[in-house]
Amino acid sequence: MTNAEAARRLGLDCLCPGEEREVSGGYAGDLLSWVMGRAGRDCAWITIMSNVNVAAVAVMAEASMVILAEGVKPDPELLRRAELEGIALYSSPLNAYELSWRLHEALL
């Protein structure tokens, strides 16, 4: 499943489409060095963090998309960096739990 397909199936709002990537799993978390150390490559990363550091972590951890949960709005600098680095950035009014089970179902 590509990141764009995942976005469609989870009903996400697109903030920045980014580069097309395969999504093979998920990770939910807001503490950046937990995400760095634990998120698997090609995961959809679900977070309520909205500052620019999210972009660097997404690149370094090789997340294939970032989903801002609970209707969180990205800082302008995060959006700018997502566009620059080709990061697929989406948002949703759903919380991390609801997004996680929808993602799980989409991945089955």
Ligand X SMILES: Nc1ncnc2c1ncn2[C@@H]1O[C@H](COP(=O)(O)OP(=O)(O)OP(=O)(O)O)[C@@H](O)[C@H]1O
Instruction: For the segment 29-58, give every residue that binds ligand X (CB under 6 A).
Output: 32-33
DSSP string covering 48-77: S--STHHHHHHHHHT-SEEEE-TTPPPPHH
Q: Which is nearer to another protein, 11 or 31 (CB)?
A: 31
The CB-side HSE value for 2 (13 A sphere, CA atoms) comes to: 9
Judged by beta carbon, residue 56 or residue 106, the one nearer ligand X is 56
Q: Give the total of residues touching ligand X (CB under 6 A).
A: 2
* Nearest by Cα to 73 from 89, 53, 55: 89
- Closest to ligand X by CB, 34 or 97: 34
Which positions lie near ligand X, rule CB under 6 A?
32-33
